[in-house]
Structure 1
Amino acid sequence: MSGLPHSPHALVTGGGRGIGRAIAAALVGAGATVTVLGRNAAVLDEAVKTGAAHFAAVADVSNEASLTAAIAAVSARKPIDILVANAGSAESAPFAKSDTALFKRMMDVNFMGVVHAVHGALPGMRNRPYGRIVAIASTAGLKGYAYVSAYSAAKHAVIGLVRSLAIEMAGSNVTVNAVCPGFTDTDLVAGSIENIMSKTGRSREQAIAELAKHNPQGRLITPQEVADTVLWLCGEGAGAITGQAIAVAGGEV
């Protein structure tokens, strides 16, 4: 597997914890300069202190002005070669109780957050000899799940964006892909586990099993498995891989 070119600069949104932090650490290990971006300065600073990233930037991806300003500052330090649009959130509710505000929240963070990040990073990246955009979507962007219609709709939108932008960028050195994890062992999924426990009275083990049953391998995905896939897509040997939505889900889709 071809590695990264010499010391690229990677920006990872939602990079302070979970999948984002695993991706940031993997990129650091492969020789990239990494900036993590998110809303919680303390979490981001801790990632830097432990070596999972080199720099931190505070911004809310759903706020276009905030994110644009942050990306401009990050780019001024060193031009961005890799963008991993990872920041996201999930809320569950039956469709009948999923009001306009819930749909807007899910679209603003999970879809428009990607749009804003790409708008900020792509102009400079197009002028570089190498560029990689990786959106962290979800198996919920490839299939439906009950009680997360708004989240699933937003993740489907991310994959549509990736496929269209990849075609636009095909004549450049920029590739655009999505990685679609199944249920992954993160804080985000921990919230789903707590929700199952509170609503059904099941034990933690039973709640985990309820999520893991979607994976034919019968387990939760690890953040490192997602990070390894992103690292491959960012490598020089993946230059022909673009417009793809790669599931990391034990054969679920």
Structure 2
Amino acid sequence: MKTVVIIGGSKGIGAAISNSLLETHKIINVSRSQPELMHQNLTHYACDVLADELPEIEKVDSLIYCPGSINLKPFERLKIEDFKNDFDINFIGAVKAIQKYIPKLKEADKASILMFSTVASKLGMPFHTSVASVKSAIEGLVISLAAEYAPKIRINAIAPTVTDTTLASKLLRNDRQKEQMIERHPLKKYLSPEEVAEMASFLISEKSASMSGQIFEMDCGITTFKN
């Protein structure tokens, strides 16, 4: 049974990924909050990825970094601290986790790393300056590390559009906002965390053995179709 370390697997997309893999993988969740689900294949470490030392883990086949932020403000209202905080959560935390577990990943057979970007890195949208910038840094990290660790470790990212999680709750506060979000997307929908979890499961599996250094857009058509 392969071991998947999920940073931030107690809520949102991370929890959906954990739930989708639990029956077939050993899941090690590293997050500040306890997962709601209990399972014999799930181990939880209470840890703030930015402030604490990450736990020692004996075996790591896949690493998934889920923490993120949606800090939407006009550029002139963003403080330098906003950019720093978003960069820490999205990028520095990912780098810290990868540097911690890369020795174990190098020991594994057919290892993989999965990170998260955003459609805002490709589609210019008002008030997305900070999140688009830091997620663009993630995309650079993915491509560079994938080249550096090929063929031993595959590294990819998913760039989702709005997903129905607590993190995006301000964008989906009521029925009117939800309907407007649906209408903005050419496929007339936004994402569920379970959909993203299905893609994540695929990208750490041997079914995607030929894919590395890629950013997979789950965009419901918003970045490529004219609506």
The verdict on a shared fold, with TM-score over 0.5 as the criterion, is: yes
1:14 corresponds, among 8, 13, 18, to 8
- What's the offset of the Cα at 1:171? 3.0
Matched, 1:149 2:129: yes
- What's the offset of the Cα at 1:84? 0.6
Question: Where in structure 2 are the equivalents of 1:92-241 lying within 5 Å?
Answer: 92-172=72-152, 174-194=153-173, 204-241=174-211
Q: Contact between 2:25 and 2:41, CA under 8 Å: does it hold in 1?
A: no
Aligned-partner SS, 1:246: strand
Using the alignment, how far apart are the partners of 2:99 and 2:121 within structure 1?
21
- The equivalent of 1:71 in structure 2 is 55
Question: Which sections of structure 1, spanning at least 5 residues, go unmatched?
Answer: 1-6, 195-203
- The equivalent of 1:57 in structure 2 is 45
Richer in helix (by share): 1
Aligned-partner SS, 1:211: helix
- What's the offset of the Cα at 1:53? 5.8
Using the alignment, how far apart are the partners of 1:159 and 1:71 within structure 2?
26
Q: Contact between 2:27 and 2:41, CA under 8 Å: does it hold in 1?
A: yes
How big is each residue's C-alpha offset from its partner over 1:141-170, in whole Å with a ceiling of 9 and x where there is no partner? 333321121111111111110011111111
Using the alignment, how far apart are the partners of 2:41 and 2:4 within structure 1?
10
Using the alignment, how far apart are the partners of 1:145 and 1:37 within structure 2?
32
- The equivalent of 1:200 in structure 2 is none
Q: Return the letter of the residue paired with 1:70.
A: L
CA RMSD of aligned residues (A): 1.6
- What's the offset of the Cα at 1:61? 2.4
Question: Which sections of structure 2, spanning at least 5 residues, go unmatched?
Answer: none
Q: Return the letter of the residue paired with 2:26.
A: T
Using the alignment, how far apart are the partners of 1:122 and 1:213 within structure 2?
42
Q: Contact between 1:182 and 1:215, CA under 8 Å: does it hold in 2?
A: no
Using the alignment, how far apart are the partners of 2:40 and 2:136 within structure 1?
30
How big is each residue's C-alpha offset from its partner over 1:119-145, in whole Å with a ceiling of 9 and x where there is no partner? 111111112222110002221233332
- What's the offset of the Cα at 1:180? 0.9
For these two proteins, the number of residue pairs brought into alignment is 223
- The equivalent of 2:17 in structure 1 is 23
* Bigger mean CA offset, 90-99 vs 139-148: 139-148
Aligned-partner SS, 1:61: coil
Matched, 1:39 2:32: yes
Aligned-partner SS, 2:213: coil
Q: TM-score, normalised by structure 1?
A: 0.83
Q: TM-score, normalised by structure 2?
A: 0.92
